[in-house]
Amino acid sequence: MGWWQQLQHFWQRRQHLNRGWRDHRYIALDVETSGLDARRDQVLAIGWIEVTPPVMDFQHGQYFVTQSAPELKQSPVVHGLVRRDFASAEAPEAALRALAEVLEGAVLVCHHVQFDWQFLQRFARQYKVRLRPLAKFDTLTFEARRLRLQQHHIARGSLTLKACRSRFGLPDYQAHHAFSDAIACGELFLAQAYQYAGRTNAPLKELLK
Protein backbone atom coordinates (compact mmCIF):
# COMPACT_ATOMS: atom_id res chain seq x y z
CA MET A 1 0.00 0.00 0.00
CA GLY A 2 1.46 3.30 -1.01
CA TRP A 3 1.72 6.25 1.36
CA TRP A 4 -1.10 8.09 -0.46
CA GLN A 5 -3.45 5.16 0.01
CA GLN A 6 -2.45 4.91 3.63
CA LEU A 7 -3.23 8.53 4.18
CA GLN A 8 -6.53 8.17 2.43
CA HIS A 9 -7.37 5.17 4.57
CA PHE A 10 -6.41 7.08 7.70
CA TRP A 11 -8.74 9.95 6.75
CA GLN A 12 -11.59 7.73 5.91
CA ARG A 13 -11.27 5.89 9.18
CA ARG A 14 -11.18 9.18 11.06
CA GLN A 15 -14.36 10.29 9.37
CA HIS A 16 -16.03 7.00 10.15
CA LEU A 17 -15.11 7.23 13.80
CA ASN A 18 -16.62 10.70 13.94
CA ARG A 19 -19.98 9.37 12.82
CA GLY A 20 -22.61 8.56 15.42
CA TRP A 21 -22.23 5.22 17.14
CA ARG A 22 -25.77 4.18 16.23
CA ASP A 23 -24.99 4.50 12.52
CA HIS A 24 -22.42 1.74 12.62
CA ARG A 25 -22.53 -1.97 12.21
CA TYR A 26 -21.08 -4.15 14.95
CA ILE A 27 -20.09 -7.78 14.98
CA ALA A 28 -20.43 -9.31 18.42
CA LEU A 29 -18.20 -12.36 18.38
CA ASP A 30 -16.92 -15.16 20.54
CA VAL A 31 -14.27 -17.76 19.75
CA GLU A 32 -13.83 -21.06 21.48
CA THR A 33 -10.28 -22.26 21.79
CA SER A 34 -8.49 -25.35 22.98
CA GLY A 35 -6.43 -23.30 25.45
CA LEU A 36 -5.38 -19.83 26.46
CA ASP A 37 -2.18 -19.37 24.45
CA ALA A 38 -2.75 -18.01 20.98
CA ARG A 39 0.71 -19.20 19.84
CA ARG A 40 0.03 -22.85 20.61
CA ASP A 41 -3.70 -23.39 21.01
CA GLN A 42 -6.32 -23.70 18.33
CA VAL A 43 -9.56 -21.98 17.43
CA LEU A 44 -12.30 -24.58 17.74
CA ALA A 45 -15.37 -22.59 16.86
CA ILE A 46 -16.45 -19.04 16.02
CA GLY A 47 -19.90 -17.55 16.53
CA TRP A 48 -21.01 -14.04 15.73
CA ILE A 49 -24.06 -11.91 15.29
CA GLU A 50 -24.52 -8.58 13.59
CA VAL A 51 -25.72 -5.66 15.69
CA THR A 52 -27.26 -2.56 14.15
CA PRO A 53 -28.30 -0.57 17.21
CA PRO A 54 -30.71 -1.22 18.80
CA VAL A 55 -31.33 -4.45 16.88
CA MET A 56 -29.65 -7.81 16.81
CA ASP A 57 -30.94 -9.81 13.91
CA PHE A 58 -30.79 -13.55 14.52
CA GLN A 59 -30.88 -14.09 10.78
CA HIS A 60 -27.50 -12.42 10.58
CA GLY A 61 -25.85 -14.77 12.96
CA GLN A 62 -23.20 -17.32 12.05
CA TYR A 63 -21.58 -20.23 13.74
CA PHE A 64 -18.65 -22.29 12.48
CA VAL A 65 -16.84 -25.22 13.98
CA THR A 66 -13.36 -24.87 12.54
CA GLN A 67 -11.46 -27.92 13.79
CA SER A 68 -12.15 -31.49 12.88
CA ALA A 69 -9.61 -33.10 15.21
CA PRO A 70 -9.01 -30.84 18.16
CA GLU A 71 -6.45 -31.36 20.88
CA LEU A 72 -8.44 -30.53 23.91
CA LYS A 73 -6.81 -29.55 27.11
CA GLN A 74 -10.12 -29.33 28.87
CA SER A 75 -12.90 -31.86 28.90
CA PRO A 76 -14.22 -33.02 25.52
CA VAL A 77 -17.47 -31.15 26.04
CA VAL A 78 -15.64 -27.86 26.32
CA HIS A 79 -17.97 -24.94 25.57
CA GLY A 80 -20.77 -27.34 24.85
CA LEU A 81 -18.94 -28.76 21.87
CA VAL A 82 -19.09 -32.49 21.54
CA ARG A 83 -17.38 -34.88 19.21
CA ARG A 84 -20.34 -34.90 16.88
CA ASP A 85 -19.87 -31.16 16.31
CA PHE A 86 -16.25 -31.57 15.32
CA ALA A 87 -17.24 -34.18 12.80
CA SER A 88 -19.36 -31.59 11.04
CA ALA A 89 -16.57 -29.04 10.96
CA GLU A 90 -16.27 -26.94 7.84
CA ALA A 91 -13.23 -25.68 6.05
CA PRO A 92 -11.71 -22.88 8.10
CA GLU A 93 -11.27 -20.74 5.00
CA ALA A 94 -15.02 -20.55 4.46
CA ALA A 95 -15.56 -19.37 8.01
CA LEU A 96 -12.76 -16.82 7.80
CA ARG A 97 -13.93 -15.45 4.44
CA ALA A 98 -17.45 -15.03 5.75
CA LEU A 99 -16.06 -13.28 8.81
CA ALA A 100 -13.75 -11.05 6.77
CA GLU A 101 -16.69 -9.97 4.68
CA VAL A 102 -18.96 -8.97 7.58
CA LEU A 103 -16.10 -7.35 9.50
CA GLU A 104 -15.32 -5.01 6.62
CA GLY A 105 -16.19 -1.57 7.92
CA ALA A 106 -17.79 -2.97 11.09
CA VAL A 107 -16.74 -2.77 14.71
CA LEU A 108 -15.65 -5.99 16.32
CA VAL A 109 -17.19 -6.45 19.78
CA CYS A 110 -15.94 -9.08 22.20
CA HIS A 111 -15.75 -9.63 25.88
CA HIS A 112 -11.97 -9.37 26.34
CA VAL A 113 -11.33 -8.49 22.72
CA GLN A 114 -7.52 -8.85 22.99
CA PHE A 115 -7.88 -12.54 23.56
CA ASP A 116 -10.26 -13.25 20.70
CA TRP A 117 -8.40 -10.94 18.33
CA GLN A 118 -5.05 -12.62 18.92
CA PHE A 119 -6.50 -15.98 18.10
CA LEU A 120 -8.42 -14.66 15.12
CA GLN A 121 -5.42 -12.89 13.64
CA ARG A 122 -3.14 -15.89 13.86
CA PHE A 123 -5.86 -18.11 12.54
CA ALA A 124 -6.58 -15.78 9.62
CA ARG A 125 -2.91 -15.35 8.75
CA GLN A 126 -2.59 -19.13 8.60
CA TYR A 127 -5.17 -19.17 5.82
CA LYS A 128 -4.07 -15.89 4.24
CA VAL A 129 -7.30 -14.08 4.99
CA ARG A 130 -7.25 -10.43 6.04
CA LEU A 131 -9.62 -9.30 8.78
CA ARG A 132 -10.03 -5.55 8.74
CA PRO A 133 -12.59 -4.33 11.26
CA LEU A 134 -13.07 -0.60 11.48
CA ALA A 135 -12.36 -0.77 15.19
CA LYS A 136 -12.50 -3.05 18.17
CA PHE A 137 -14.72 -2.60 21.19
CA ASP A 138 -14.06 -4.48 24.41
CA THR A 139 -17.06 -4.90 26.67
CA LEU A 140 -14.76 -6.02 29.47
CA THR A 141 -12.46 -2.99 29.37
CA PHE A 142 -15.43 -0.70 28.99
CA GLU A 143 -17.03 -2.19 32.07
CA ALA A 144 -13.83 -1.99 34.09
CA ARG A 145 -13.50 1.69 33.19
CA ARG A 146 -17.15 2.32 34.00
CA LEU A 147 -16.79 0.73 37.43
CA ARG A 148 -13.56 2.58 38.13
CA LEU A 149 -15.20 5.90 37.22
CA GLN A 150 -17.92 5.10 39.71
CA GLN A 151 -15.09 4.44 42.16
CA HIS A 152 -16.12 0.87 42.62
CA HIS A 153 -13.63 -1.57 43.98
CA ILE A 154 -13.39 -4.21 41.30
CA ALA A 155 -13.78 -7.52 43.04
CA ARG A 156 -12.51 -10.79 41.63
CA GLY A 157 -14.98 -12.30 39.24
CA SER A 158 -16.94 -9.11 38.85
CA LEU A 159 -15.87 -8.67 35.22
CA THR A 160 -17.00 -11.98 33.83
CA LEU A 161 -19.55 -11.73 31.03
CA LYS A 162 -22.21 -13.08 33.35
CA ALA A 163 -21.40 -10.65 36.17
CA CYS A 164 -21.33 -7.68 33.79
CA ARG A 165 -24.67 -8.67 32.30
CA SER A 166 -26.33 -9.06 35.64
CA ARG A 167 -25.35 -5.49 36.56
CA PHE A 168 -27.43 -4.38 33.57
CA GLY A 169 -30.29 -6.66 34.51
CA LEU A 170 -29.76 -8.85 31.48
CA PRO A 171 -30.95 -12.44 31.80
CA ASP A 172 -28.71 -15.27 32.82
CA TYR A 173 -28.15 -17.58 29.86
CA GLN A 174 -27.64 -21.24 30.49
CA ALA A 175 -25.93 -22.23 27.30
CA HIS A 176 -22.22 -21.65 26.81
CA HIS A 177 -21.56 -21.84 23.23
CA ALA A 178 -19.76 -19.46 20.91
CA PHE A 179 -23.03 -18.32 19.36
CA SER A 180 -24.99 -17.72 22.54
CA ASP A 181 -21.97 -16.03 24.11
CA ALA A 182 -21.74 -13.77 21.07
CA ILE A 183 -25.40 -12.82 21.56
CA ALA A 184 -24.80 -12.28 25.26
CA CYS A 185 -21.86 -10.04 24.42
CA GLY A 186 -23.86 -8.10 21.84
CA GLU A 187 -26.63 -7.43 24.35
CA LEU A 188 -24.14 -6.26 26.93
CA PHE A 189 -22.59 -3.94 24.35
CA LEU A 190 -25.99 -2.35 23.59
CA ALA A 191 -26.71 -1.89 27.27
CA GLN A 192 -23.32 -0.27 27.85
CA ALA A 193 -23.51 1.96 24.81
CA TYR A 194 -27.01 3.24 25.53
CA GLN A 195 -26.14 3.87 29.12
CA TYR A 196 -23.07 5.78 28.07
CA ALA A 197 -24.50 7.75 25.16
CA GLY A 198 -28.08 8.17 26.31
CA ARG A 199 -30.31 9.89 23.82
CA THR A 200 -27.42 11.39 21.87
CA ASN A 201 -25.88 9.67 18.92
CA ALA A 202 -22.40 10.16 20.28
CA PRO A 203 -19.47 9.74 17.85
CA LEU A 204 -18.17 6.21 17.77
CA LYS A 205 -14.69 7.37 18.75
CA GLU A 206 -15.97 8.46 22.14
CA LEU A 207 -17.21 4.98 22.83
CA LEU A 208 -13.79 3.62 21.97
CA LYS A 209 -11.75 5.92 24.15
Task: Name the minimum Å distance from CB 16 to other proteins.
Answer: 22
For residue 53, the surrounding DSSP H or E stretch is none
Query: Which residue type does 82 have?
Result: V
User: Minimum CB separation from other proteins for residue 55, in Å?
Assistant: 5
Closest Cα to residue 91, out of 126, 122, 39, 121?
A: 126
Which residue(s) pair with 22 in the sheet?
none
CA–CA gap between residue 112 and residue 138 (Å, rounded): 6
Q: Which helix (H) or strand (E) holds 48?
A: strand 43-52
Nearer of residues 81 and 113 to other proteins, judged by Cβ: 81
CB of 183 to other proteins, least distance (A): 7
Smaller CB separation from other proteins, 139 or 180: 180
For other proteins, the binding residues (CB under 8 A) are 47, 49, 53-59, 61-65, 80, 88, 90, 168-171, 173-175, 177, 179-180, 183, 187, 190-191, 194-195, 197-199
Q: 13 vs 89, which CB is nearer to other proteins?
A: 89
Q: Which residues contact 183 (CB under 8 A, 6 or more apart)?
A: 28, 49, 56, 61, 173
Task: CB nearer to other proteins: give 23 or 57.
Answer: 57
